Structure 1
Amino acid sequence: MSNNTGNTVLALLTGVAIGAGVGILFAPDKGSRTREKFKDGFEDAKNELKNRFDSVSLELKDKFSLAKYDLEGTYEELVSNMSHKTDDVISFLEEKLAELKSQNAKLQK
């Protein structure tokens, strides 16, 4: 979720909570009834916020899981490439060693 979307949702929830609070406070009901409405509105907002938090948490877990999988794949590819390069270096050094042995054998005759 982009930061802009999160800000928009937060602003919307804040506006709903403020509007509900103002509407309840100015309603022509008894105090006990108004307090009950206010409590219900608070519970609804709390539940909505919890659901949004759970959704964002799940989304972040999925993204981190994918990033970990990508990192593991990149690591395995790097190790494989290094292994091939090591083989190339060893082959090169073996060829040079053989050339030096050949040159040394010519000098000993």
Structure 2
Amino acid sequence: MENSNSTGKIVGALMIGTLVGAAIGVLFAPHKGSKTRHNIANGAKDLANSAKDLANDVKHRVSSGYDELVHQAEKATSYADGQAKAITNTNKQKM
């Protein structure tokens, strides 16, 4: 849980930093308005692509963690089942 909170904070900080940087860039831009708008649009596309890549990475990590958890649960269940059968067989032999 803590890891996803940290990731969310990082993404939020990156977005805020990008917006602040864009605002400062507009205020001090040496280019014409059309060129500046073009640069901002490209920056926004880059940010969107970065956010999409990050979301996909987080999705993959969560999915991998879930798959590993399921695998470990299956192993534990199988082990417990084997132990229960062994105990049952031992008790039947004693009778």
TM range (shorter): 0.7 to 0.9
- RMSD of Structure 2 on Structure 1 (CA): 1.8
CA distance in 2, matches of 1:74, 1:67: 11
**What are the within-5 Å matches in structure 2 for residues 6-85 of structure 1?**
6-26=7-27, 27-85=29-87
Alpha-carbon offset, residue 90 of structure 1? 1.3
Q: What residue is the counterpart of 1:101 in the other structure? A: none
Aligned-residue identity in percent: 17
The alignment's TM-score, normalised by the length of structure 2, stands at: 0.82
Segments of structure 1 that go 5 or more residues without pairing to the other structure are 94-109
Measured against aligned partners, the alpha-carbon deviations of 1:66-93 in whole angstroms (never above 9, x if no partner) come to 1111011101101101111111221233
Q: Rg bigger for which structure? A: 1
- In the comparison of the two structures, how many residue pairs are matched? 93
2:31 is paired with a residue whose SS is: coil
The alignment's TM-score, normalised by the length of structure 1, stands at: 0.73
Write the letter of the residue equivalent to 2:53: N
Q: What residue is the counterpart of 2:93 in the other structure? A: 91
**Contact in 2 for aligned 1:21/1:38 (Cα 8 Å):** yes
CA distance in 1, matches of 2:4, 2:69: 19
